[in-house]
Structure 1
Amino acid sequence: MKSLLVTFPFITLLFTNTVFAGSASLAPGEYIAEHGRGTLLVTARKKGLYFKINAYGANGHSCFAEGIAENNINIQKVDGLNESCTITFTPKADLVVVSASEDGCQGFCGARASLAQEYFKTDEVCLSKNKSKSLKLFKTYYSKKTYDLAEKTLRTVFDSCKKYMSIFEQLEIINDLAVTYKNLNKKDECVSLIKPFDETADMSESDIKEGYPPGDADNLLPLAKKLKFNRELCRGLK
């Protein structure tokens, strides 16, 4: 069975206790996992470097952790479990590798989500606040029928950030770009944009429900139907 990623309400874990280990400190900033798997936000506070992790897995499973990472380690005693949750941060040139003790930390995540993964430094356009501003600006341009500016704005986000997006976010943007290209009468650009996702557009409702976990299928189905509809609009352009 295939798996996809989607953001749903988190199972929350608050980390408060810390231990000390010698290694390079985290640099404040936002780091983003590939394929929509989550974000790591690090900020400098009086008590030290404060981190917040939102991690996402398939079928709506997720986990959330926050606390002080002192010398890149945070430990929390987990109620009801024999094992503590230990999170370790390993900064590298363009990313932070997060490790989490499986027995302790996984108790605070859905079965298909994990805190442990790589979180990358990204282009400024991909940072959460900047991306949100760009998406809002796209809607403004589109509503004013300034489709050339709308296309340029949204295409920049998609081309720069698609490897950090879940399939759901990618399809949402592709559908928005497709109708923008339709209004610009840009057939070739529209067809080319959708082509890598033709297999998804061609899937029937039963294919999707049988091929993906229930939560993922529910989210994918309307996006796939819309994609197929938009593809036909684009193919029909003269």
Structure 2
Amino acid sequence: MLSVLKNRFEQGYRTCNYPKEKPAVFPRYRGRPDINKDADPSVIQACADACPQDAIDVDKKRIDMGRCVFCGTCERVSEKTFVTFTNDFEIATSSRADLLTDGTLPNLARHSKQHFKKLFGRSLQLRQVSAGGCNACEADLNVLATPFFDLARFGINFVASPRHADAIVVTGPVSRNMKTALLQTYEAVPEPRVVIAVGSCTIMGGPFYGSPEVAPGLESILPVDLFIPGCPPHPLSNLHGLLRFFK
């Protein structure tokens, strides 16, 4: 114990001040896309043709962040004349429709259910379900327990049993082999229960969209209350979504 205290004293205070202050993210991080609606139509079409996720709507000049894997192809193809990915990590929404962005700021989980805030504002217990993911989303959820993010300071914790949970956090494209386990986990969570979709795979199937082996999106199986897009979502995106929705 003394060695732990000594180590902590030497390291000093490491926890970020978010949400009071937005910490800087890595310069190459791709967050909310900024869209130039006045871009050359041929450039927009070229971006749509090159998009591996078919996430660009040419007619409405917008990007589906739920389908997008933030690979940056459209930014490179357009040479930033149509799409520029910003460092804005605050992109979680409580509505699937709000993930369709034309460059304006999305409704940042503003339409959260107020009774959820009343019920879970002081204590929120989460059960994470990896439904066939590659472990990237899971890894970025795990780091929320580190001293820098310190999720527990907000009264939010991950628990081992769904019977002790208030919400399930789903990652991965929900493979056919994981669907039954996911539904059983959901049924084991006491009501009122919350469903959180983390990552493009969970929201729309990600790179596996259209495969008969995965669901076409978590919403086709369960009612989703919070969407956190990304591939994987930045830990701060996860933290932002949880705080805006529940706190």
Structure 1 length-normalised TM: 0.24
Structure 2 length-normalised TM: 0.23
More helix by share: 1
Which of structures 1 and 2 has the bigger CA Rg?
Answer: 1
More strand by share: 1
